[in-house]
Structure formats: C-alpha cells, structure tokens
Amino acid sequence: MIGAVIPAAGKSKRMGQPKLLIEIDGRALLARVIEALFDGGVGRIVVVCPPESAPESAPLATIANESGCELVIPREHPLDMRASIELGLGRLGRSIAPDHVVVGPGDSPATTAPLIASLLERASRNPRGIVIPSVGGRRGHPIVMPWAIARELAGLGANLGLNALVRGHSDLVELVEVADRRIVLDLDTPEDLAAWRGGAGGLVSYRVRLFAGARELAGKGHLEIELAPGSTVADLRRALGLSEPRLGMLVARAMIAVDEDYAADDQALPASARLALIPPVSGGTTETPTRSRGVGS
Amino acid sequence: MIEITRSAIDTGVILEQLNSRAAGAVCLFLGTVREMTAGRRTIALEYEAYPEMAERKLAELEVEARARWPILEVVIVHRVGRLELGEASVAVGVNSPHRADAFEACRWLIDTLKQTVPIWKKEEWADGTEEWIHPGKPDSKPGA
C-alpha cells in the first residue's frame, strides 16, 4: 500500500493568499493534487491542515474530507514543512504502515496522475530506492520513498528537512526523467501563479518568425507555438516540426535564433524570447571562410 | 557602416567613406548576380533578410575584423529584394595602412558573412522554376 502526505499548513506568505485554495482551471490546487495522487495509485492520503484559528483551515479540511483523505489539524502552525510532513507521517504510521510514501510540497500544480503512476511503477521495481522525477537531471516533485526511510525524518536534527534525508541516502536515489518541465515549479509567488496561468494551462505562447524557404513551405511568415515553461530550443524544434509538417527536414537543418542570436539546442527559452527559424544561408557550407583566420595583426 | 537596403548599392558613396589619409589600401568586394550556375541559367535573384538579426551579425563581424586586422573603416551593404543579372547584391569595403590587411580582412568578412548572416537568396531559373538556396538540399519538399 502506498501512502501520501500533503503538507497544507503553510502560511503562503509570499503568495499573499492560501496557495492550496487557488483555483487552476476552476478547481482548488489541493483538490487537483489529491485527485492526481489517488488516480495515480496512492491508497491513503494524509492532509496536514493549518490550525482551526486560520481562516483557510476550514475550506482546506472540507476539500480533504470530501476527497476521502485523512486529516491532521494541529493546534498551532507547524514550524516548517518538515514539521508538517512529520505530523502526516505520524498519522500514516498509526494504523498499518504503508510500504512507500509519496511526499512533496503539495503546491506543485504539475502533480498529475500519470506522473504519480510512473513514479510508483518505478518504486515497485526498485522497492528500496528513493524515486524522484527529474527534467534534464534537475530534480522535481514529488518524491516516493520507502516507509523505513521516511520514518527517519523524525530522527533528523533541527533545521534539516526532506532534502537532508534524501542526501543521506543518495546511493538509493533513482531519478525518473520526465518530459513535463513543470515538475520543477512551485507556486510560491503571484508571479509564479501568473506564469502558470499565462497561456493555455500554464503554457507559454511564442511567435516564431519564418524566412525564405521555411516561410514559403509553411505559407506564412510566422508560427504560433505553445510550450511548457522552461522549455529549450530542442523542444521548440520538435514543436515546430509537429505543428507545421510541411517544413519537413528543413526544421532539423535550420538554426534557431533567440533574441537575434543563434542558440544551442539545450538553451532555455525565456518567456518573452524573440524567436526565429533560420534555414541554412546560401554561402553556409561551400565556402571555407576560416582559411585566413589568425593572419591578422 | 552597416546597412541592409532595398536600393541599388552605390559604390561611389562607399569608396568615399573608405577614403582616408591614414590608409594605404582600399579593398572593395562586390558580389554580383551571375547568369550561369552549374549549367543552369538564372533570370534574377531575390534576397530576403531577417533584418534585425542580420544587422546585429554584421556589426559583430565588423567588431571581430577590427580585432584581427589593423583596419580603419569597414563598410558592409547588403541588398534585399529582386535583383537583375549583373547587379551588386553585397558590398564589403575595408581600408587599412597596408594592402595585405585590407585584402585579408575583406576576404574574411565576405566569407564569414555568407556563412553566418541570416540573408537568403532565391534563384529564379530560366526554365520558370524558383528555388530558395538552403545548402544541404535536397530536402524541404513537402513529405520529403
């Protein structure tokens, strides 16, 4: 059996409003995360709520209750996220302890059922491992760990948290590379929220200019492309090929310009980037312009 | 001076800009529209630029050339639009105290320009077909 802890007791200071009540696509973030965990294969979820004195406590508890979660409502605000997770783990362990626990910050809007399912599938094949989703090696949320390791959180020194726990078992970490770059995002500030909501469902819209043969093949001077935040030049290249198949092999051979400069495939795209597809230029391959290099003064 | 223009290139103006008492050499290269390419006859060429980026790349080339050779002035003018046979599509002018530097810098500038600056040409062939020149062909046909 798989358990999960959602720490929902934070004060959302930087956001200025209770994060987990923020609605994305018409549903509170907490409800979305709970549904993703259950649909992805989690059997029990403990939601750690703020104390009853906090105005957001009741609506969060209602969502958790109606979704079939277990609740912890502490008398005071837990000191930090680690304290919240400890409270949740304590509750999970009071009945039959789970084999694995899913823990994450709870405010990651990219937590989806397929993501959870793929993490749990990996954990079932590597039951001693700590399974973490990653994008290009960068770690995201949430983490799946064996119950035995999760339990050690209570024994860690003050000021240490989940990251320290994982560091202590770095030999057991298994990264699961996923395509959705949004797994590394949190919703901490109004700007994060605006970025997430910008475009369709958190996607960023780009206008990519086309020139010469590319313009004629596509029949227009630009393409509108939507990409997840944090996407790279390589992602854009793939998206261009899918969005306009008439470009054919020219997409693979063309360079991509970001803000009027040639960009490498691993370069990330800023949200406001000026983008263009640059087909090979006419003198690009037949000349040997480097022959007089180094002859100067 | 860097310029992308739809007007005919005026070599008189360019040579005037390259006139200097400190110079012992002026080198002016013109790229012109050729009629025969590998046995095929050209009627005209059409040039297209990504103007903002092309100007930026040309300015970068000037900076790099100045770092490599002791040159006094650099003038690069590239024409866009439809050009008839014999017309100049690009001019690269350099002056320097001695001719070797002017020759080398001019040669390097035109070669590197053709490799890195986002300006493309379309052949209008005598047989009625048209073709954007993107080296590495064949490709770019739908479904190819």
What is the model's pLDDT at position A196?
67
Separation of alpha carbons B109 and B105, rounded Å: 6
Q: Which of A250, A278, A293 sits opposite B118 (nearest CB)?
A: A278
Q: Which of residues A157 and A248 earns the better pLDDT score?
A: A248
pLDDT at A160 > cutoff 90 = no
For residue B74, is pLDDT > 70? yes
Instruction: Say whether B50 and A276 touch across the interface (CB within 8 A).
Output: yes
Query: Which residues from chain B sit within 8 angstroms of residue A285, using beta carbons?
Result: 135-136
- CB A275, CB A209: distance < 8 Å: yes
Domain residue ranges of chain B, discontinuous segments joined by +: 2-126
User: Above 90 in pLDDT, residue B30?
Assistant: yes
B118 cis-preceded (ω within 30 degrees of 0): no
Average pLDDT (A90-111) is 86
% of residues, chain A, pLDDT over 90: 50
Q: What pLDDT was estimated at residue A198?
A: 57
What is the ipTM metric for this complex? Answer: 0.91
User: What integer pLDDT is reported at residue B127 of this predicted model?
Assistant: 95
Task: Give the nearest partner residue to B120 out of A282, A286, A293, using CB atoms.
Answer: A282
What pLDDT is recorded for position A291? 36
How are strands ordered across the β-sheet holding B25-32?
B2-5, B73-79, B88-96, B25-32
pLDDT digits (tens, 9 = 90+) for A270-289: 888 899 999 999 775 443 33
Confidence of residue A139 (pLDDT cuts 50, 70, 90): confident
The pLDDT of residue A268 = 87
- pTM for the whole thing? 0.56
Contacts of B143 in chain A (CB under 8 A): 248
Domain B2-126 fold: Aldehyde Oxidoreductase; domain 3 (3.90.1170)
User: pLDDT at position A295, please?
Assistant: 36
**Average pLDDT for B1-18:** 96
Across the range A235-255, mean pLDDT stands at 91
Q: Chain B closest CA to A230's CA: distance in Å?
A: 24
* Length of chain B as a residue count: 144
- Token digits for A291? 């022959």
Written as one string, the DSSP assignment of A139-155 is E-S-EEEEHHHHGGGGG
Can you name the CATH fold of A198-278?
A: Ubiquitin-like (UB roll) (3.10.20)
Matching fold, domains A2-184 and A198-278: no
Q: What percent of chain A has pLDDT over 70?
A: 91
Q: Does A275 touch chain B (CB under 8 A)?
A: no
The architecture CATH gives domain A2-184? Alpha-Beta Complex (3.90)
Cβ-Cβ contacts under 8 Å, B67 against chain A: 296
For chain A, what are the domain ranges? 2-184, 198-278
Q: Say if CB B5 and CB B61 are below 8 A apart.
A: no
